[in-house]
Amino acid sequence: MVRKPPINIAEPDIAVPRFEVSSSCVSHVGYDPDTQTLYLTYRKSGLSYVYFDFTEADFQTFQNAPSLGVYINKVIKPMHECLPE
């Protein structure tokens, strides 16, 4: 099932806590298990994106990846719909 994005995607979802990560690719990560939504803020651009249909198991695997940037580019981007936040 494809989840629909929030209606007001232009407004950041500040209800979802973000945490800083040690990565050269992303600066902050947030995850909402209720909507299976991943929030990423990219370090270089400062832009944030919302990725949909991201299960809790996906999130655990992402958190444990040796390189967040490699995981994002090889797994998340090709497999998950996203929109700018």
Measured distance between the N- and C-terminal CA atoms of the chain, rounded to whole angstroms: 22
How big is the chain by its Cα radius of gyration, in Å? 12
pTM listed for this prediction: 0.81
User: What span, in angstroms and rounded, lies between the C-alpha atoms of 37 and 7?
Assistant: 14
User: What span, in angstroms and rounded, lies between the C-alpha atoms of 3 and 15?
Assistant: 19
Residuewise pLDDT in 10s, the chain (85 residues): 444 444 334 445 567 889 999 999 999 999 999 999 999 999 999 999 999 999 999 999 999 999 999 999 999 999 999 999 8
